[in-house]
Amino acid sequence: MVGVLEGKGVNPLGMDEDNAIIIPLPIVLRDLMNLQEPNAILCSATSDDDVEPAVQQITDLLRQRHRILQGEALDFKVTTLKEKEEQARTISNQMTLLMFFLALVSLLVGGVGIMNIMLVSVTERTREIGIRMAIGASTKAINRQFLIEAGVISTAGGAVGILLGVAGAVGISEQIGVEPLLSPSIVLIAFVFSAGVGVIFGLLPARRAASLNPIEALRHD
């Protein structure tokens, strides 16, 4: 060992620079990787303002070493950390959009399921609805009853989903050794949104229940 470098910590790429050994490139290629040429070279500019000039200088140098004339296609690629960050941000935005549409489809499927359950409930409880109307229950009261039931069903499902999601995030974070980021406001929004889905998809069953004829409902078996 010739010497020990000063501590640097983790770089922007997530690599621990304090857990690395530096050896001559020819030895790495010949003895460790069994290669004649490196697949990649990591360079560092002296400042942020010198990044673009450094990229141009490296490109010119590699073009000269590879004997590539002006106008010919390059057989190498020079990228910067900023480009990597932009690529990572683009991928993250695409994944966020994908997760949004998946969640939207899940909410739609869940809402349709709740609506079907409530429609079946209205059919099975037609006589009960007729009795309530006969003893003085208004259409608003019937409508409100089924909206509340739909909201309770969706809220209960949302609560279970939130608990499973939080437990899964904590479990995965512990396995990979990172700290989970849980926002109470996001959890609250998800809870309220789940309740709203039940109310929206419960409107049709509630209106159907409220529009029943009391006499016909009492005759229903």
Q: Pick from 78, 102, 123: which residue ends a domain?
A: 78
Strand partners, 10: 16
Q: What does the pLDDT look like over 93-136, one tens digit per residue?
A: 899 899 889 888 888 888 888 889 888 888 888 888 888 888 88
Q: Are residues 64 and 101 in the same domain?
A: no
What does pTM read for this prediction?
Answer: 0.58
If residue 99 lies in a helix (H) or strand (E), which one and from where to where?
helix 81-124
Residues 101 and 168 placed together within one structural domain of the fold: yes
Provide the CA 205 distance to its chain's centre, in angstroms: 33
Q: Does residue 119 belong to any structural domain of this protein?
A: yes
Same domain, 51 and 142: no
Confidence grade of residue 13 (pLDDT, cut at 50, 70, 90):
low
Q: Is residue 106 part of a domain?
A: yes
Q: Mind listing the pLDDT tens digit for each residue in 159-208? A: 888 888 888 888 888 887 777 777 788 888 888 888 888 888 888 888 88
pLDDT at 41 over 80: no
If asked whether residues 74 and 156 sit together in one domain, one would say: no
Residues 102, 73: one domain? no
Q: Give pLDDT tens digits for 46-96.
A: 777 777 888 888 888 888 887 887 777 877 888 877 777 788 888 988 998
206 and 156: one domain? Answer: yes
Torsion angle in degrees (nearest 10) through CA of 146, 150, 153, 157: 180
Total number of domains in the chain: 2
154 and 210, same domain (yes or no): yes
**Cβ atoms of 175 and 168 closer than 8 Å:** no
pLDDT for 98: 92
DSSP category for residue 28 = I
Decide if pLDDT at 1 tops 70. Answer: no
- Give me the percent of the chain exceeding a pLDDT of 90: 1
Domain hosting 172: range is 94-219
Specify the 3-state DSSP secondary structure of 16: strand
State the Cα–Cα distance between residues 72 and 22, nearest whole angstrom: 35
Say how far apart CA 144 and CA 205 lie, in whole Å. Answer: 11
- What pLDDT was estimated at residue 221? 64
Residue 16 pairs in a beta bridge with 10
| 46/100 same-domain check | no
Residue 89 lies in a domain: no
pLDDT of residue 153 exceeding 70: yes
Same domain, 107 and 192: yes
Q: Which of 67, 89, 85 is nearest to 76 (CA)?
A: 67
> Is there a single domain that holds both residue 98 and residue 71?
no
Residue 135 within any structural domain of the chain: yes
